[in-house]
Structure 1
Amino acid sequence: MNNMTRTFAALADPTRLTVVEELMQRGELPAGDLVSHVGMSPPAVSRHLKVLREAGVVTQRADGTKRYYRVAPESMRAIVDWTIAHRSFWEASLDRLDAILAEEGGAHNE
């Protein structure tokens, strides 16, 4: 569970989530492309990438002086697995919400 905690904590930041979404859509990118997309300074983006890397959400590869980043598929798979494992909780919660809303809707119609 410790890895999931780090993963969700890393993705809780809007900038880091934007970076991950960009990498998921466009594939592996150099850090400079990410800088231009998120509109932050290179050091700020570098700090965000470090958090994502340490959480295991992205991987880095060097090619000369450039650093390329991509989403670690195993981290996305872990999120999917966690979500599916907790599916019954979410479904039960939504069922309870539906029941409450239906009850309230009936009370307003009387």
Structure 2
Amino acid sequence: MTAVAATASVFDALGDPHRLRMVVQLCDSGPRSTLQMAQSISLTRQAATKHLEVLQAVGVVSSSKRGRERIWTVQPQPLTDAGDYLNALSRRWDTAIDRLRAFVEND
């Protein structure tokens, strides 16, 4: 998978409000169980699991087994890569605006 495709899949996964809330919650609170995640955002355990599996598929979270419970943890690298991509895009936009401003001011 190319870097752009990987970043796009992260944005796609985070485009769902439930999944975005889950990631924010894991960032704020640290590792949590599936049940804790489900209860905190008013989802069934099954629905929470499906959302968490989508996030895991793109590398944003990982899970480990603790007894009968699955514990979820944020993996920061895909989020850092997505942030870097947005920053690069922002710099390109700023450059384009500067070129437009120079063009308009020289006209």
TM-score (norm 2): 0.81
| Unaligned ranges ≥5, structure 2 | 102-107
Contact kept in structure 1, 2:56 and 2:62, CA below 8 Å: yes
Counterpart Cα distance in 2 of 1:81 and 1:15: 23
Larger deviation, residues 59-68 vs 77-86? 77-86
Structure 1 stretches of 5 or more lacking a match?
100-110
Distance in 1, matches of 2:74 and 2:37, equals 13
CA RMSD across the alignment: 1.9
Give, in angstroms, the shift of residue 61 of structure 1: 0.9
Q: Summarize the alignment of residues 57-72 of structure 1 with structure 2, pairs less than 5 Å apart.
A: 57-72=60-75
Residue 59 (structure 2) aligned to one of 56, 59, 82: 56
The structure with the larger Rg is 1
How far is 1:74 from its partner?
0.8
How far apart in 2 are the matches of 1:94 and 1:14? Answer: 31
- Percent of matched pairs sharing the same residue: 27
**Which residue among 21, 25, 34 is the counterpart of 2:24?**
21
Q: Distance in 2 between matches of 1:28 and 1:90?
A: 36
Q: Secondary structure at the match of 2:63?
A: strand
CA positional deviation for 1:5:
1.4
Which stretch of the first structure deviates more once superposed, 24-33 or 74-83?
A: 74-83
Q: Give, as a single letter, the amino acid of the residue that structure 2 aligns with 1:51.
A: V
Residues paired across the two proteins, number: 97
